[in-house]
């Protein structure tokens, strides 16, 4: 292939009667053009870098990094403004932003040390939780032998704990901006040897029905349907062994994840229920987990 290419090149040179001097001249001109093109590309690259690093663009990148909670990278962008635009109003603003970032970083360091020293003692229970489209208000969380639900006026249902067991119950009203939300799990953990260990997940039961006919499913109860009612009351509960409940403080926790879905049951009443689907609670909870998806509702 190389021989053919050389032969073709040689033949072409002969065809056009190009002398050796002319060939060298052409090569020299091509080299000059190539060097000029490289220089232009370098200039373009330098101009592009300069445009990217204007104070305005650095501010844009820094604000984006702050929104992503990437404090250290945001600080680098602000520092670039201070270093490259000294004496300007932009540099003054950037210096103030750096001071804010330094203060935030220091506060986070102090808080992390406090949590490390105090452990789970830093956690404060709350009766109200809001995330996404949901707002939850807990009226009562307690331990007892009898769990009541499905009250339709003249009658309601009870679930008594078996001998040696108790229910951990929660009375909650849930408000949703969504017409068909998935509800979050209410979890029960126990403090054991300095760790919060998972015991179980409460089930959801409707607190009330308009009447017996709506409970049977003969007609709809819009008070138990988020597509018609913004707020629905529930009575939640789980049965656990008294031996487990006595061996350490009980922590009732909410995980900010929708995993209980509205379902039509195949048999029994009521015909509508909220059933669990892949809640995947952590088996061991650490203090830092409560900075994200987990919320302490009550200690028992």
Given a contact cutoff of 8 angstroms between Cβ atoms, the answer to whether 164 and 114 are in contact is: no
Q: What is the 3-class SS of the chain, one letter each residue? A: CHHHHHHHHHHHHHHCCCCHHHHHHHHHHHHHHHHHHHHHHHHHHHHHHHHHCCHHHHHHHHHHHHHCCCHHHHHHHHHHHHHHCCCCHHHHHHHHHHHHHHHHHHHHHHHHHHHHHHHHHHCCCCCEEEECCEEEEEEEEEEECEEEECECCCCCEEEECCCCEEEEEEEEEEEECCCCCCECCEEEEEEECCEEEEEEECEEEECECCCHHHHHCCCCCHHHCCCCCCEEEEEEEEEEEHHHHHCCCEEEEEECCCCEEEEECCCCCCCEEEEECCCCCCCEECHHHHHCCEEEEEEC
**Contacts for 92 with CB less than 8 Å, ≥ 6 apart:** none
The pLDDT score that the predictor gives to residue 1 is 47
Angle of CA points 108, 114, 117, to nearest 5°: 145
Task: Please give the pLDDT value at position 282.
Answer: 96
Q: Are 166 and 188 in contact (CB under 8 A)?
A: no
User: Tokens 């499905």 — which residue?
Assistant: 150
Q: What is the pLDDT of residues 114-164, one digit of tens each?
A: 766 567 888 999 999 999 999 999 999 999 999 999 999 889 999 999 999
**How does residue 3 score in pLDDT terms, banded at 50, 70 and 90?**
very low
Show the tokens assigned to 6: 């050389």
Place of tokens 């101009």: 47
Label each residue of 249-275 as H, E or C.
Answer: CEEEEEECCCCEEEEECCCCCCCEEEE
What pLDDT does 14 receive?
A: 47
Residue that wins the pLDDT comparison between 58 and 263: 263
Q: What is the pLDDT of residue 213?
A: 94
Mean predicted confidence (pLDDT) in 187-208: 95
The CATH number of 123-299, from 2.60.40, 1.10.10, 3.30.1330, 3.30.70, is 2.60.40
pLDDT, residue 13, reads: 47
Rounded mean pLDDT, 253-274: 95
Residue extents of the structural domains in the chain = 27-118, 123-299
The better pLDDT of the pair 283, 38 is held by 283
Residue 171, token pair as written in the block = 């009375």
Return d(Cα 81, Cα 95) in angstroms, integer: 9
Q: What is the pLDDT of residues 38-88, one digit of tens each?
A: 766 666 565 555 556 788 888 899 899 989 989 899 889 888 888 888 889
Query: What's residue 47's pLDDT?
Result: 56
Q: In the chain, what percentage of residues exceed pLDDT 70?
A: 86
Per the model's pLDDT, the better-predicted residue between 137 and 18 turns out to be 137
Mean residue pLDDT of the chain comes to 87
At residue 294, does pLDDT exceed 50? yes
């Amino acid at each position: 292939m190389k021989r053919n290419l050389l032969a073709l090149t040689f033949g072409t040179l002969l065809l056009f009667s190009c002398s050796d001097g002319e060939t060298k001249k052409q090569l020299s001109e091509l080299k000059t053009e190539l060097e000029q093109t490289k220089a232009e590309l370098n200039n373009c690259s330098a101009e592009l870098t300069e445009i990217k690093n204007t104070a305005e663009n650095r501010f844009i990148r820094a604000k984006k990094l702050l929104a992503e909670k990437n404090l250290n990278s945001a600080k680098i962008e602000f520092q670039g403004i201070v270093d490259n635009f000294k004496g300007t109003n932009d540099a003054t603003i950037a210096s103030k932003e750096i001071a804010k970032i330094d203060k935030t970083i220091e506060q986070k360091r102090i808080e992390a040390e406090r949590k490390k020293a105090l452990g789970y003692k830093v956690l404060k229970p709350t009766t109200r939780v809001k995330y996404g489209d949901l707002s939850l208000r807990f009226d009562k969380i307690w331990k007892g032998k009898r769990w009541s639900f499905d009250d339709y006026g003249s009658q309601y249902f009870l679930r008594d704990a078996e001998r040696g067991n108790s229910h951990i119950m929660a009375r909650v009203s849930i408000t949703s901006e969504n017409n068909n939300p998935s509800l979050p799990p209410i979890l029960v953990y126990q403090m054991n040897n300095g760790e919060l260990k998972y015991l179980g997940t409460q089930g959801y039961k409707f607190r009330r029905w308009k009447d017996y006919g709506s409970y049977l499913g003969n007609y709809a109860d819009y008070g138990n349907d988020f597509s018609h009612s913004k707020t629905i009351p529930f009575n939640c509960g789980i049965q656990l062994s008294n031996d487990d409940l006595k061996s350490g403080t009980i922590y009732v926790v909410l995980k900010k994840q929708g995993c209980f879905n509205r379902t039509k049951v195949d048999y029994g009443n009521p015909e509508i229920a909220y059933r669990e689907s892949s809640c995947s609670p952590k088996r061991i909870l650490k203090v830092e987990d409560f900075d994200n998806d987990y919320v302490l509702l009550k200690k028992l």
